Amino acid sequence: MKLIDKLIIEGLIYGILFSMYMIFSDKPFVYKYFWRTYYYVVIWSLPMVLFATVLPLAYDTFTWFLLWSLIIFFGELVLFNIAKANEDQVDFFVACTSKLYGYVFSGSIVVLAIVSLIIKTFK
């Protein structure tokens, strides 16, 4: 399957997921903040999936690690939003704007970018 076909299929799938959110988000489902969590998981998983699709096209180790750092970053955002799924709105926004949140996510990108630069330098 060509890369463009994969990207079109992913676009269609995420189009369906977003349309489900648009249609059903005003109705309560499973627990109180299900649709907020659904929205953020879909928003952060879209770039993660797109970077994973482009990963086989990485032409050197630096690009490969850079793509992996972005995939891991968006994966952490998805896991964070799942972990904070049933929090009240105020508690959710306090968690999203906390310094720990910034340190964890920016730290993961910096560590993987440094590892990729070290590999590029010594290769």
Asked whether the beta carbons of 42 and 77 are under 8 A apart, the reply is: no
Q: Average pLDDT, whole number, for the chain?
A: 82
Q: Which amino acid, residue 104?
A: V
Angle at 8 between CA 12 and CA 46, to 5 degrees: 65
Average pLDDT value for residue range 49-61: 85
Q: Six-digit token pair at 112?
A: 């993987």
Asked whether the beta carbons of 112 and 72 are under 8 A apart, the reply is: yes
Domain, as residue range, for 38: 3-122
**What local confidence, expressed as pLDDT, does residue 13 receive?**
93
**What local confidence, expressed as pLDDT, does residue 9 receive?**
92
Q: What is the pLDDT of residues 65-105, one digit of tens each?
A: 788 888 888 888 888 888 877 777 777 777 777 787 778 77
Q: Which residue has the higher pLDDT, 50 or 115?
A: 50
The total number of structural domains in the chain stands at 1
Assign 31 to helix, strand or coil. Answer: strand
Q: Give the range with max mean pLDDT: 38-47, 57-66, 105-114.
A: 38-47
The label of the residue with tokens 């904070």 reads 84
Q: What is the pLDDT of residues 6-26, one digit of tens each?
A: 888 998 999 999 998 888 888
**What local confidence, expressed as pLDDT, does residue 90 receive?**
72
